[in-house]
Every structure is written in structure tokens, then in C-alpha cells.
Amino acid sequence: MPASPEIEYLKTLVSQLNEKIAALEAKSKGPATPSPAKQLRTILIGPPGAGKGTQAPRIRDDFCVCHLATGDMLRDQVEKKTPLGVEAKKIMDAGGLVSDDIMVNMIKEQLENNKHCKNGFVLDGFPRTVPQAQKLDGMLSARGEKLDSVVQLLIDDQLLISRITGRLIHPASGRSYHKTFHPPKKAGVDDITGEPLIQRSDDNAETLTRRLKTYHTQTGPVVDYYKAKGLWHGIDAAQSPKVVWDNLRSVFTTRK
């Protein structure tokens, strides 16, 4: 008995729907557009006041990676009395410098146990010497990983000194102002609480000149090491934070 036109029509409709479903399923199973956060491993280098504290958290948030500030990590390990922290405290209490191996192992411990590091990391404050850079490379290589980029924030020392010596801080909140570039509404007091602002004791030209000399002495060989590997990118940090961010993002999203 021949099928009625209505049945034939329904069969055709079902066939079309099945084809549409198959196409949608195939599309959904296809390769997802890679996120720029996918396995970003970078180092941020810059002198005090160049803007690392502004840019590193933004890299962390926009690229879903962890921000490893080695000074903060060291303090955290000491406070928590971890094996590495106890070992580091003994050395610091004796007036010594924490060894490169301890610092690299602290980074390794974060990469292994910090869930925020699964997409990668932005490293801030390390390495400061070529041997440290080599140890870091060795540790990453043992994990089957390698750095994608090393970004240096570049700024003239005199401009940096004028930026920092004008800084005013609200201690309770960490809000910062600048006598020239971002003054409070009322001189010397926080806009929100009306509490007094302070200038940090080390935010003076003499201290900064010393710190910058140390920075340049330490950083030069490290920068040369990464330049030789083709990983180094320099960014003009005298520009506005937004322009600096756009340039950083460009480095991370166009890397090979």
C-alpha cells in the first residue's frame, strides 16, 4: 500500500531535521577558538614604579593565569611555615640570601598545586640573575613547558623618580595619589575617608637612585639572556596604563 503524501512529507521533514542535528553536533565538537589565555607563560620585568603592580593583576585576570610575585610568595611560605618557608626563614634570620633552588622550588610548588596556574603564569620579581633564569628554564623544561615571552617595561630613570617621589598613599586601603599627576581633591587627605595620606619613607630620590642602579646592574645580563633566546619584548612604560596594556596584550595574543 503506497504511503500517503502526508507520511512522505513527515519522513522528509524528519530527514532534514536529522541532517540539521548532525551538522550542529559536528560544529559543537569541532575545535574551539583558542583563548589567548591558553598556556601563557610570561615574565614581567621592570624597575620599581614602572607599573608592574598595575599590569600584572590585569594579565592575571584577562588571561586566567596566576600572578607569581616571588616576594609575596616567600612571605606567604614563611607565614604558613611550609618546609620551604621554614628553610628560607632560617637563611634570612642568619642574614643570608634565599638560595635560587628554594625560589625555583617555590615557583614549582605553585605550578603544581595552585589551580589558578593551570593556564600558565605571569612571573614578577624573578629571575634577577642569569643563573636564576637558567634554573627556571631547567625546572620548566622538566615539566615539559617553556616560556612564551619576557616583557620589560622601559622608562627613563628621571621620569620614574619624578613619578615615585610624588606618590601619596592612603595606608588603610592602599589607594595611591600623585602630587602632580593625580592629586587628591583636598591636599594631603584621602578622597573617600578624609584620612591623612603618607609618603613612603623609601619614596625619595636618593633611595630610588640606589634601587635603580641595583636594578640596572642585575637586569642587564638577564635581559641579554632572554634576547638571545628571542623571547624579549620591550614596552614603553612612560605611556598611559591603557596604552601599555594594549601593547602587552598585543605581545601575548600575537606570539608564535
Contact yes or no for 159/181 (Cβ under 8 A): no
CA distance linking residue 209 with residue 81, whole number of Å: 35
Q: In terms of DSSP H, where are the helices of the chain?
A: 5-29, 52-63, 70-80, 83-93, 100-113, 130-142, 157-165, 205-228, 241-253
Check if 249 is active-site.
no
* 236, three cell numbers: 614603553
CA distance linking residue 107 with residue 101, whole number of Å: 10
* 243, three cell numbers: 596604552
Check if 115 is active-site.
no
Buried b / exposed e over 131-167, threshold 16 CB at 10 Å, is: ebbebbbebbeeeeeebbbbbbbebeeeebbbbbbbb
Q: For CA atoms 98, 102, 106, 108, give the dihedral sign.
A: positive
> Which of the following is catalytic: 52, 60, 135, 163?
52
Check if 60 is active-site.
no
Check if 143 is active-site.
no
The bridge status of strand 232-236 relative to strand 149-154 is parallel
Q: How far is CA 161 from the centre of its chain?
A: 24
> Which of the following is catalytic: 20, 80, 186, 200?
200
Burial of 55 (0-12, 13-18, 19+ CB in 10 A): buried
Contact yes or no for 109/84 (Cβ under 8 A): yes
Buried b / exposed e over 59-74, threshold 16 CB at 10 Å, is: bbeebbbbbbbbeebb
> Which of the following is catalytic: 41, 128, 135, 163?
128
Check if 255 is active-site.
no
> Which of the following is catalytic: 58, 89, 175, 211?
211
Return the active site residues: 52, 128, 167, 200, 211
